[in-house]
Structure 1
């Protein structure tokens, strides 16, 4: 009897020691029950998660469109679309991956985009103002440091970076997707690396059109589409681009896009041309994931470098991906994004991907 009790006590002690040695990051995360994930906790008339948020701006009040997909107390991922001037719709592919892991999606059309108000005032297309807009949306949707993950893709990555530099205390995790933190470096990469991959005759004709400022010339996009967009934006023939992408890009606010970016993705010449936060990102302590694609319009080495500069950085490399790695290297992108969010949720500050 004493031997039996000794064995039981030893086994109990061993189990306790093993349990104590398991780090929070190693815990198995169990996705919520389907009923809990899709439970609508709003008290007013049900709208399928849609909420119009009123924002205050120097030009008055406007309304922006948001939609919650799912219900997760600890993992709410707000999505900032690119362009500038596209819509939330190209993020719809995430519904095929993230909800299964219990991650809530928060769609949001920035002012001037998609379902949100469009003041049609170019003075409103301003980075600091958009930062304050994101903060007002965060407050309205009750997102905080215990649940708020912010993903910005392309232009959205600029906005997410700038938001984090001012308001990182409200973030649980930051994802900078397919975006450098220096627009001058972005422009340099386009001219010194990507331009050299063009057929010289094609590049000469593109430069000729640009020199004349003849961007409305249909030949301009006819040259860029197969020679640049299908190689560095989304690596498929444009006729085969996924419907959520074409639907989103088809609603592009050209006023916003040209004001901020310039006439095309081939370099940058708009208001953002001099934006550079290479020095400032060292102050970011929030767990940060940088995502880059081998064939991106952005330099993948720069995006890897970002993860070494922030205090708690992780890097996801999409070897088959371009600017839309969430589509043309989808499994890599979604697997890495999910692992990062779950890892941070379980206490990791840096996630091995």
Structure 2
């Protein structure tokens, strides 16, 4: 899809003309890809159309490695989302699912009270990067001392691209990002895409989840949350790098919100507890738009 002089890649699962608002999926990063969120396509089997897309700079969308920090802004990605909604003809009736950075982006979009937004799902997202950085310090301190020393040494030397640094970082990821071992194929695909093309992630975030030195280091959506006017589902994992301290403002400040913590998950509950995750999502979707055809709630309502 054209966006300014660039292109946004997208895919649709399910029928956009079936009478249900599509669920538009905002991936994390910033600078990741849609791949690790592909399991959400299963919702289309229950009658829920799903739209995935790769945000500009990564995946199937236009890559722009020459662009600097003044180009990669929150406003750029909000404009890209508006362009996608308009281009697909769904701006008058849609739902948003945002994971991690995508949840913050979705909250910023929802706070403008777009007329077609029916509901918002914020999954595994911090509300403030300042709080996120503080919590990363705390979580990092739980790692073995030799791992902490390796991380600090390579960050100081600027050698975060080495195998030794990756191996130390993997200890953190296996505790707080993905509890499934080996990593699921979808997650590996997004991880390697971002590794091979880190422009957006390095510019806006920094070299790792817990070494945030990019342009988003102080970004927050906290002050926007009271303006969100749609029913909002908040999801996090019990062992999530998005700790309760980082997530809590969403529940405290969004007027119509509900928070579900998945007990056996970290940052990727859709991969770690897929059945429970889908159950939570379908229940939320039924609450905002009625039961999906073929679900137990629908069958009960019709006496099937």
State TM-score, norm by structure 1: 0.77
Alignment of 1:247-286 (within 5 A): 247-252=189-194, 253-286=197-230
Quote the residue 1:93 is aligned against. 39
In the aligned structure 1, how far is the partner of 2:211 from the partner of 2:110? 25
Cα deviation digits, residues 105-162 of structure 1 (max 9, x gap):
10111111111111321343211111011001111111134x3011111121121112
Cα deviation digits, residues 38-94 of structure 1 (max 9, x gap):
xxxxxxxxxxxxxxx1112xxxx1111111111132230011111222211112212
Quote the residue 2:183 is aligned against. 241
Alignment of 1:21-100 (within 5 A): 53-56=1-4, 61-71=5-15, 72-96=18-42, 98-100=43-45
8 Å CA contact retained: 2:24, 2:94: yes
Structure 1: where are the runs of 5+ without partners? 1-52, 348-353
8 Å CA contact retained: 1:325, 1:333: yes
Match of 1:251, SS state, is helix
Alignment length, in residue pairs? 285
Quote the residue 2:167 is aligned against. 222
Match of 2:20, SS state, is coil
- 1:262: Cα distance to partner? 0.5
Quote the residue 1:165 is aligned against. 111
Q: State which of 71, 74, 78 in structure 2 corresponds to 1:131.
A: 78
Alignment of 1:1-40 (within 5 A): none
In the aligned structure 1, how far is the partner of 2:247 from the partner of 2:87? 31
In the aligned structure 2, how far is the partner of 1:255 from the partner of 1:119? 8
8 Å CA contact retained: 1:293, 1:322: yes
Quote the residue 2:48 is aligned against. 103
In the aligned structure 2, how far is the partner of 1:301 from the partner of 1:85? 24
- 1:267: Cα distance to partner? 4.3
State TM-score, norm by structure 2: 0.89
Quote the residue 2:283 is aligned against. 339
In the aligned structure 1, how far is the partner of 2:270 from the partner of 2:281? 10
- 1:301: Cα distance to partner? 4.5
Which entry has the higher C-alpha Rg, 1 or 2? 1
In the aligned structure 2, how far is the partner of 1:191 from the partner of 1:321? 21
Quote the residue 1:189 is aligned against. 135
8 Å CA contact retained: 2:110, 2:229: no
Quote the residue 1:155 is aligned against. 101
Structure 2: where are the runs of 5+ without partners? 292-304
Q: Which moved more, 1:170-179 or 1:301-310?
A: 301-310
- 1:331: Cα distance to partner? 1.9
- 1:304: Cα distance to partner? 4.2
CA RMSD of aligned residues (A): 1.7
Match of 2:50, SS state, is strand
Cα deviation digits, residues 228-283 of structure 1 (max 9, x gap):
0111110123xx21111111221113011111110001242211111112222011
8 Å CA contact retained: 2:99, 2:125: yes
The higher-RCO structure (CA 8 Å, 6+ apart) is: 2
